[in-house]
Structure 1
Amino acid sequence: MIVLKNPHLSVHIDEMQGAELRGIYTPDARNALASYEWSSPTPVGRGASYGSSEMDWLSGYRGGWQETIPNAGQNCVVDGVELGFHGDASRTRWSIVDQGADWCTLETSTRLPIRVRRTMRLDPDRAVMYIEGHVVNESDLEIVFLWGHHPAFPSVDGGRIDLPDGCTIHPDVNRSGDLLTQDSPWPMAKTSSGEFADLSEQPALGSHRLLYVTGNKVGWSAVRQPDPYVSVAMSWDVAKHPYVWLWTMRQTPEYPWYGRASMFALEAQSAWPYDGLAGAKQRGQGIKIKPRGEESSWMTLAIIPNGSGTVTGVTKNGEVTFKSSEMH
């Protein structure tokens, strides 16, 4: 486990499993991310396959923050190669290229002929983390891939989500939960009972939903939590990640949750819906990288004070603006 630390933040990264972020801790040891320490289900690396790429991936999922590349969502076959659920880079071992006390650079390969490098750095003066991603095409062909981030946060009563104005909601046709599969302006969506749900609020226990948010002219989101949970604001390269996936699960009974987890993920993604790279390519989505070419992206996370009011913007530098009428 790699630990980056300064007076404002401590970030724990598991380079053995997809270089996933297991924790983003404040100085008083509160984790901004949803994180569970279950011993079961047995992760697939310690036993036999569960029979599907998605179930194998979920067997080792305990919350945290994954980088989904070169696939996101459903496993699929592209150019004769099966790409696993959420991309093999989210589960493979990453190599440490270099590191210091408050930064590190990691690297891995994927089932497609691309090499992925990620640098994470903590701001020396603020509770801000910068992520820089770099992808190199090692082939003589143009490659299309998906690239996203899957940070999960505790889903608790009183928690709220802020997104830019002008976005459109698209509930997933197979995983909408209590929502009708009708497009609507963020944050209101019609439910199967005929009422409207405010998706900026956390749903009732027992809810399980997946929806997509499009029309993002800028890339940012915010998670405003009640005490003692940690509130955050994020920004990202909207040219590379123009869509947001919002997945919410609150104490549902199925594998691997068994009623013991409550979390949601705000995912900056390069395609939608959930059908993986094969479907994205058919729609003309995804990121194209030229033969022997390179692509880059970035993401920033800032801790914000609880009770700060509605977030109205987040910059690449981690500067956060709030609705002035709500400031105390």
Structure 2
Amino acid sequence: MDAVTLENELLRVTVLPGKGGDVVEFLHRPTDTDFVWLSPQGLRAPAGHLHGAADDVAQFIDHYEGGWQEIFPSGGAPSLYRGARLAQHGEVSGLPWECAVVADTPELVSVRLSVRTRRLPYRLERTLTLAAGSPALEVEGRAANDSGLPLHAMWGQHIVYGAPFLKPGHRIRLPGGVKVVPHETAINPAGRRVAPGGPWDWPLVPADGGGTTDLGVVQAPGSPSDMVYLTGFSEGWYEISGEIGMRVEWDAEMLPYLWMWQEFGASVDYPWWGRAYVLGLEPFAGMPTDGLAAAVGNGTAMALGPYESKVLRWRAEVLA
């Protein structure tokens, strides 16, 4: 597979244009720390169009190397939207993207990826930039509705962490006032609350207040799997850190939810077989992880009017 590498004095970021534009390396060079989790099954070249088969879950999972994916226009499970069958995390995560170098100077390196969806009338662009001496990857995305009809979408950044970076005891920090929506609540009518429970003893995050919230520590291998949604961000950011850390910032008006996925080895059947130690902290427009139709049904999906474009800016910065 072709790869594109952006590099400066502090970072090396490797992207696969032919496989969803996946980020498969985010290396902090001074400490030789790679923040990207890669799954035990390794990197596998896509066998044709990933979302063309009847088993729309396996087509994503069987080629999932870990890494960081752009998710659009549907997040999570397969979904049927206005007659279009959308696969697991479909469509753009399973499509080849065009790639062009837009800057390659001592001061700046930048590439632009672009793709058209096949089942819905969308265009998506993503420009990734590294500036000289900066420990941050800057990303600007643009989603365009190419039809004269109003449409919906889920737009997300499927960012996951694992070895060698992620370790038990790493701390997660968020803005104050963030609320927790457990998955069981998210699939029911909006606003319904459930009792605290689960491996993180939700809800730990206060419903109001200012400042910064310490979400707690990353748990040990074997801890139960979990999926929750965080919302109510006054500012879009989180930090996850141990000896070294990562800060991700995004437009919380555009992506008002942070999906938190925990798989620490408790799942012993397909597809993880007890081998995964991975934490996802994923800014998203829409919830839950049940696909676009579910997000439309609960009113959390993004709306794009006829021929409308939306621009999303986010960044990932190493805290050393």
The TM-score bracket by the shorter chain reads: 0.7 to 0.9
Report the TM-score, using the length of structure 1 for normalisation. Answer: 0.81
Corresponding position of 2:226 = 209
Cα distance, 1:108 vs. partner? 0.4
Cα distance, 1:74 vs. partner? 1.5
2:51 and 2:91 in contact (8 A); partners too: no
Q: Please give the root-mean-square deviation of Cα atoms over the aligned residues, in Å.
A: 2.9
**Secondary structure, aligned partner of 2:216:** coil
Cα distance, 1:215 vs. partner? 1.3
Report the TM-score, using the length of structure 2 for normalisation. Answer: 0.83
**Secondary structure, aligned partner of 1:55:** helix
Distance 1:187-1:253 versus aligned 2 partners, 3 A rule: farther
**Secondary structure, aligned partner of 1:63:** coil
2:73 and 2:92 in contact (8 A); partners too: yes
Choose from 200, 203, 226 the match for 1:184. Answer: 203
Q: Deviations over 1:215-262 (max 9, x none)?
A: 112110111034xxx411010011110011100111232222222221
Cα distance, 1:18 vs. partner? 0.5
Cα distance, 1:283 vs. partner? 2.0
Q: Percent identity?
A: 26
1:213 and 1:243 in contact (8 A); partners too: yes
Q: Deviations over 1:106-149 (max 9, x none)?
A: 00011210100000001223201100000111111111111010
Choose from 115, 122, 136 the match for 2:123. Answer: 115
Choose from 157, 169, 173 the match for 2:180. Answer: 169
Q: Which moved more, 1:23-32 or 1:131-140?
A: 23-32
**Secondary structure, aligned partner of 1:173:** helix
Structure 1 residue ranges without an equivalent (≥5): 189-197, 306-328
Q: Distance in 1 between matches of 2:294 and 2:171?
A: 32
Corresponding position of 2:20 = 18
**Secondary structure, aligned partner of 2:221:** coil
Structure 2 residue ranges without an equivalent (≥5): 188-193, 208-213
Distance 1:99-1:132 versus aligned 2 partners, 3 A rule: same
2:176 and 2:206 in contact (8 A); partners too: no
2:262 and 2:279 in contact (8 A); partners too: yes
2:16 and 2:23 in contact (8 A); partners too: yes
Q: Distance in 2 between matches of 1:37 and 1:24?
A: 18
2:50 and 2:60 in contact (8 A); partners too: no
2:5 and 2:14 in contact (8 A); partners too: yes
